[in-house]
Each structure stands twice: as C-alpha cells, then as structure tokens.
Structure 1
Amino acid sequence: MKKQQEETGRVRRAIASRVQEPLSSDGFSVIVKHRHSVVSVALSDDDARGFSASKDGTILHWDVSSGEKEIYKWPSDETLKSHGMKVREPRNKKHSRATLALAVSSDGRYLATGGVDRHIHIWDVRTREHVQAFPGHRNTVSCLCFRNGSTELYSGSFDRSVKAWNVEDKAFVQDSFGHQDDVLAIDALRKERAISVGRDRTMQLHKMPEQARMMYRAPASSLESCCFISDTEYLSGSDNGTVALWGMLKKKPIFLLKNEHSVTINENGDHDNVEYNNSCTASSWVSSVAVCRGSDLAASGAGNGFVHLMAVEATALRPLFKLPLSGYVNSMAFAKSGKFLIAGVGQETRFGRWGCLKSAQNGVAIHPLRLS
C-alpha cells in the first residue's frame, strides 16, 4: 500500500535524511564521453540505462553499470521526407542536428529528442530506429518531457509555446501559449499538467485538459531550470545563483536559497579559480535542478564547480552536501532508488557559448550516494 502511495506521489519518501557524507573516494567519475558539451541526460525507469545528447548532435544510449554505449544513427534525408519533414539544405549540416533536449518514456520504449532543426524526433529505444519527426515549432526546441505512465510528450521552444503530443498515436494534441520569451525548461509528473520556465522571469503551470494556465513570477531574474517535487510543489533555478521552492497556491517562492551557486571571491578580490574570470556570470546560472522522484532529495547544478544536494522540507530547502564537479552542469537525473546521481556536463552552457571552462570534460558523470 505504502509503495503504491509513493508511486503515485501521495506519500513522500524520506531519502534526504539517509544520505551520508560522501567519502573522499566517492566523487564524480565520467562514464560516457562526448566530443561537445552534454546538454541533456535521462535515465530509464529501472535505473539500468542512460541516455545523453550533446551539442554536436550525438545521441547516446549507455549501460549505467558498464558504461557500454551505442549511438543513435541520424536518418537519411529521404527517411525524414517520408515522415513529412521539410529538409532544407543547411549551410552547416552538422549544426542543424545540434540536439538540445531529450526525454525517455516511463515504459522505456520511446526516446524523444529536439533541437536546432525545430522538429521533435521520436526513436524506438529497442531498435534505435528513427520512428517519427513532429513538425510544429517555429524555432529551436529547447526542452522535452514525457508524462509519467503515458506516451504523452510535452515540448517547449524558443517560439514561446508549449505543445503536447501523443507519441503512440503519432499525433499533435494541443498548444499552450503564455510565455513572453524563450521557454527554457519543462517538467511533468503523472497528471496532465506541465510546468515550464522562461526568460520572461515566469514559471507557468499548464493545465492541459482545461486549457488553463497559472503564472508564478520570479523575483528579478530569469529562470533557467525547473522540476516538480510533488503535484503541488516545484523547484527552480535562476541565472543569479538562486534555487527557489514554490507552492501551488502562492504566486511567489515559499523559500529562496540565495547565492547558492555564486562564484566566490577571495580576500584579494580575485576569483578563487582564475578560469572562472571570463565566464563568471554564466558560472552562477543554475542550469539544472533535479528531484529524486517521489522523495525529499533534490540537487542543483551550475558552472561554479559544485553540484549541491538539498533536503526539501515543508517550507524550506536545507543544504546537505557539495559534490565537486568541474564544468557547466547542464542536466541531471537521480536514480529512482536514490543510489546515484548522473550529471550531463560540458565546457559550455546549454544554449550558447556564454562561457567556456577548458578544464572540464564533456560527458556524463556519475556520483554514488550512500544511504544509511
């Protein structure tokens, strides 16, 4: 009974209090390498397989325990045309395949990817074949997520719209407008609802069947990332280094963890790490937040050299541990069991080249979490 309540999100699993301080030997280790910055990562429901997408258009599918990887082969222009996609000859062919978002369905059958070519590509995970290309967005597809327990897909784009699709029926479902600027992140749980954040400093809750929206305003900063904690609570990361906790009934954040990822300045007025000088502002952008599904354990990542673990309490966020990781943390995912955290990391930020950290490795890093 309790397990079923945890699955549906009625009862929150207490994991944060069980996380033990990481040993010096733990640390992040890169299990999958990419040539360019990793912008999106996802895990299958059984925690056994992972998926990652990079700015160079490479989409990989890998085994969490062994790190063995397989690549998704981009379909030919003829195949794309047969799916109703207009194939324009880009000046730089590789650039048009730049992938910025990725999501895997909870049954592990479908992988959705999106990026600069404005289309959403659906792949069959078992055969790694390209199944469908959805047109519809008028600009870069920036974020994707599947609704838990279904094949309904939500997408966000720089064209300021959020769209819903049914992957099983290969059909467009509906639009949701409301953002006044680029949509940067999106998330969904089991209900037909999605939250999205954008450069217009708002977080919006899209109630799909009712075709209604609720708008939440961030205090003076662009929101870079968001995720559901439960049906009525959300987490967001801002470009000023702040992590915020939101409640459904309040239009402003319930709790702010300020300067969580700001780059520290030492007594001489220098930045502790010289390399961060050029890209100091971009280093504090909280470009990814993640919650271990159905639990009180959360994490935030930026480019300041650390991933921060937090406990979600009734009306507050309590910092737990800082896990060192060099580079821009563009995407994260917790194992459902809470036993490890994966991070997509790179030398550059997710949407553009606002900063460059040469010492960082482009790839997927994994950190074990010890639970008492």
Structure 2
Amino acid sequence: MSFFIKNKGKQSQNKKKQAGKKRPAEAPKKGAPHRKKFHGLNEEIESDSEEEDHVTKSHDQGYSSSESDNETAQEKKLRLAKQYLRHIEAEERDNNIDDEVNRDAVSHRLKQDLLEQAGKLQKKLAENIVPPSQEDLILFRGHQLSVTCVVISPDSQFVYSGSKDCSIIKWSLKEKRKVHVIHGGRKGTEKKHVGHTGHVLAMALSSDGKYLASGDANKLIHIWDAGPMTLLHTFKGHRDAISGLTFRKETHQLYSCSHDRSVKIWNVDERAYVETLFGHQDKITAIDSLSRERAITSGGRDSSIRIWKIIEESQLVFNAHSMCSVDCVALINEANFISGADDNSLSLWGAMKKKPLFTLKNAHGCQATDESKVEGQEENWITSVAALHNSDVVASAGSKDGSVRLWKCSADYKKLEPICAIPIVGFVNSLQFSSDGRYLIAGVGQEHRLGRWWSNKKAKNSIHVIPLATAVK
C-alpha cells in the first residue's frame, strides 16, 4: 500500500483529457476561500517522479505574467531554464576580470544546483566544527516574556525575534544592539494598534530579506517590510493560533500552519489568499519549505509528518516510530528531513520511505526532578530542531536539559553522531542556522512557547547567537 495520497475520480479523468492542451497561467485566487481537503490514508496510487527540473522551478516566482500566458508546461520549462542560465552567466561574468564567461564554472554551478535540488548534495562540515565557548556566545536581551521564535537575515546582518509579550525586535549582529522595536498591544486594541496583541508564536523571512511574516495566538499574520519594519498587510483566515510560517525559497509565496489543523498558502506580493489544505488530525506544530512548491508539517498528537505537494494536489504521509507528539520538523535538503518528538527522540527521514531511516531515542538525556523521583526519571521532550541546508549538520534542543546539541548526519542519513552540547539555561523555543553557516540562533524563554506547564526562573528571556564562523568555512 503506497503512502502517497492523491485526489482520484473525475479529476484524474479530466486531467487526461486536458493533457497537451495550452492553459493560461494561474492567477492568485481571491475572494471566497478555496479549500482542498487531501484525502485519507488508505488510497493507493502511483508515486510521482522525484527527478523533476526543480532548478528552473525555484526561479519561477509562481505568479501570473504576460510572458507566461498561454504557455504549455514544456514552453514554460524552456523559458525558465534560459532565464536561469542567463542569470548564472551574468554572475560568472561579473566575477571575471576579462568579462568572459567561464563555461566550466557555469557547468559546475548547474551540476551543483541540480544535486542540491534533488537532495543529493551534502556538504561535509560537521568534522570542522569546533565547540564554541560561553565567552563566544552573543546574548541579546529585550523581551519581557519568553522568546518564542527567531529568524536571521540572508546576509547574516540582522536577527528578528518574537515573544509572548507580543513584541517583535530587530537586532543588529554587527553593532550588537536593538535596531527597531514593535511593542505589543493589549487584547481588544487590534483595530488601532500597529503590531500584535497576542503571543507571537511564529516568524518567517523571505530569502531576499524583503518581507518578514509574523503570526500570533489571535489568528493573525502580519507582513512587514523587513528594512524599516513598517506594517504592509494583515492576513486573516485561520480559525486558531498560528503555529508556523515559512517562505518558499526564492519566492514570496508564504505557507502558514495553525492549531486549526490547516495549512494556508498566501501570495505576499499580491496580498492575496491562495488556498487551504487539510489532512492533519490534530494541531499542526511546525512547518518548513525549500525551493520546491511544497511544504512539510508536523502534526503533533496525530503522530504524523506530511509533505504537501501543491501542484500535484497530493500529500505524503510519514508515521512516527511510536505514538508520540511530533513537535518540530526541519528540512535538511529536498529529500531528507529531521523531526523531534515529546518522547525525547530525534528521527531522520527520507522522502521516499514511510518510516524513519533512523531514530535516536533519549537524545537529550533524562533529568531527575522532585516530582519525578518517585517514578524515576523524566524525559526532556524535543522543543526545536534546525538544519544547515545541504550539509551534514543539524541541531536540536530539549525542554529541560539546558543545552543545544549539534549532530552529524551520516551520508545515507541513517545515523546521528553527537558533535557537541552548548549549555543554555531555559526552554529553547526556536533554532535557526544562518544561510552561510556562520551562526546558530536560539530563542530562549522561561516557558515553552505554546504553554506554561513548567517555568524555569533561572532562565533569561533572550536570544543566543552561537558563532560557528571559526569552524564552518
């Protein structure tokens, strides 16, 4: 039985009839919500090819234009391939003194990009990482309550953080100070307050650094100009708290997930709602994406991870190794990802297998507490994970063990080896690597971002910047 889920019936028959016909490019959908309910787990279908031309797709913004009107799929691929080739040639020409294009360099770039998009490129960085000392860490403090989410700009110049105090702060890494503060407002002042009036639970930054998206417990998604931090638009539509946000790489297509068990797609350039996807049976806890027009989510207590294939209108369903809550997930590359669960386990996955390729149990150890002395030990569930894209380095944080751990992935993604543990007191609610691998950013609070089950008064509500510049080159 395949674990690929796809719509069947009349829709598949219609697609056969329309094969080969030209059709206009899809415009962003507006007006009444268009909801797609992805079908149940017991349908058997053929798997779609994973060897698609994702290099050209990653440079298509996904929006309608006069150039793409009435194009066939083949014509569109050819146009995007030529556009991408011109882009690479221009970059190589700029890098050369004699203004000539180095064809070997262009060929190497294309090969590397193809391997990267296919998930077959793994940069060997783990063996060069040197454990940072406490003196190397950069500490930012400014939030009154727990930091729930952090993102770093593509040029590694700025860090953005959100908190349970409903505020957003922009920090300068170079100057080590606040650049801008958007204060939180009181509940009931949504119409006049510029900013959030509920806990900020999720943030995302577009890969060009233009847009910052932030989501809160009041079901709102704010879109900000990431430079001056001015509010551009507010998306409404979710029926419960926003638990995750991510921009598709190289585009302004935004994916959001919520405790209402749905995933929504937004066109930020057009300030437009696109569609809604259903499938999870419990609150969605995290979301991530890369270049392909798809998103990956973790489903909490439904013990599943799902990859949403937007174009194919289908989904891949992955089942956790045990009946646990899958609380966080992060893509390593287009074909592999890592997840963390409340049973203190880390799992490595491949996109073509239903079960984990490898599961490391008791990843963050156990901690004896006064409440648990009778029963023995208490597990530290995994609160956040992050991956340095297309490399062998991943990071994870446990709820109570007071550390962020770096791990080395084997080449076949069937083993995790510890690199080092970085002591950090408190709940690490968010982790993100900078795109150049120079930093690992950790958002820390006295409480978990989604609840108040425990409170660690010794922790500081802060952002920890962990430099890896001396190791990752």
TM-score class normalised by the smaller sequence: 0.7 to 0.9
Choose from 235, 240, 253 the match for 2:343: 240
Distance 1:281 1:38 in 2: 27
Distance 1:12 1:111, change over 3 A: same
Which residue is equivalent to 1:285? 381
- What 5-or-longer segments of structure 2 have no aligned partner? 1-104
Paired AA for residue 328 in structure 2? S
Which residue is equivalent to 1:61? 170
Paired AA for residue 260 in structure 2? D
Distance 2:250 2:196 in 1: 34
**Residue 464 of structure 2 is aligned to residue 365 of structure 1:** yes
Choose from 114, 117, 122 the match for 1:12: 122
Distance 1:123 1:77, change over 3 A: farther
Choose from 206, 231, 234 the match for 2:308: 206
Distance 2:181 2:346 in 1: 34
Distance 1:6 1:322, change over 3 A: farther
**Residue 273 of structure 2 is aligned to residue 141 of structure 1:** no
The answer as to whether partners of 1:282 and 1:355 remain within 8 angstroms in 2 is no
Distance 2:164 2:186 in 1: 19
Distance 1:356 1:344 in 2: 15
Distance 1:326 1:174, change over 3 A: same
Aligned residues: 353
Paired AA for residue 148 in structure 1? K
Paired AA for residue 255 in structure 2? Y
**Residue 254 of structure 2 is aligned to residue 171 of structure 1:** no
The answer as to whether partners of 2:303 and 2:325 remain within 8 angstroms in 1 is yes
Distance 1:192 1:56, change over 3 A: same
Counterpart of 2:324 in 1: which secondary structure? coil
- What 5-or-longer segments of structure 1 have no aligned partner? 88-93, 266-270
Deviation of 1:322 (Å): 0.8
Counterpart of 2:282 in 1: which secondary structure? coil
Choose from 322, 325, 333 the match for 2:432: 333
Which residue is equivalent to 1:249? 352
Distance 1:342 1:236, change over 3 A: same
**Residue 206 of structure 2 is aligned to residue 105 of structure 1:** yes
Distance 2:263 2:169 in 1: 26
Output the TM-score relative to the length of structure 2: 0.70
Choose 216-225 or 255-264, whichever is displaced more: 255-264
The answer as to whether partners of 1:56 and 1:95 remain within 8 angstroms in 2 is no
Which residue is equivalent to 2:408? 311
Which residue is equivalent to 2:157? 48
Distance 1:78 1:310, change over 3 A: closer
Paired AA for residue 286 in structure 1? I
Choose 313-322 or 95-104, whichever is displaced more: 95-104
Paired AA for residue 320 in structure 1? I
Measured against aligned partners, the alpha-carbon deviations of 1:47-91 in whole angstroms (never above 9, x if no partner) come to 111110001101011111322211125699999659xxxx9xxxx
Counterpart of 2:385 in 1: which secondary structure? strand
Deviation of 1:105 (Å): 0.7
Counterpart of 1:326 in 2: which secondary structure? coil
Paired AA for residue 322 in structure 1? A
Deviation of 1:96 (Å): 4.0
Paired AA for residue 309 in structure 1? L
Distance 1:3 1:367, change over 3 A: farther
Once superposed, what is the RMSD of the aligned Cα atoms?
A: 2.8
Distance 1:79 1:98, change over 3 A: closer
Distance 1:149 1:281 in 2: 45
Measured against aligned partners, the alpha-carbon deviations of 1:274-306 in whole angstroms (never above 9, x if no partner) come to 6998xx999712111001122211100122111
Choose from 225, 229, 237 the match for 2:328: 225
**Residue 443 of structure 2 is aligned to residue 344 of structure 1:** yes
The answer as to whether partners of 1:283 and 1:328 remain within 8 angstroms in 2 is no
The answer as to whether partners of 2:426 and 2:460 remain within 8 angstroms in 1 is yes
Distance 1:198 1:54 in 2: 23
Distance 1:237 1:213, change over 3 A: same
Distance 1:156 1:58 in 2: 20
Which residue is equivalent to 1:300? 396
The answer as to whether partners of 2:165 and 2:184 remain within 8 angstroms in 1 is no
Output the TM-score relative to the length of structure 1: 0.88
Distance 1:79 1:125, change over 3 A: farther
Measured against aligned partners, the alpha-carbon deviations of 1:118-168 in whole angstroms (never above 9, x if no partner) come to 111111112211111111101111110111100000000010001111101
Distance 1:178 1:161 in 2: 7
Choose 67-76 or 49-58, whichever is displaced more: 67-76
Which residue is equivalent to 1:91? none
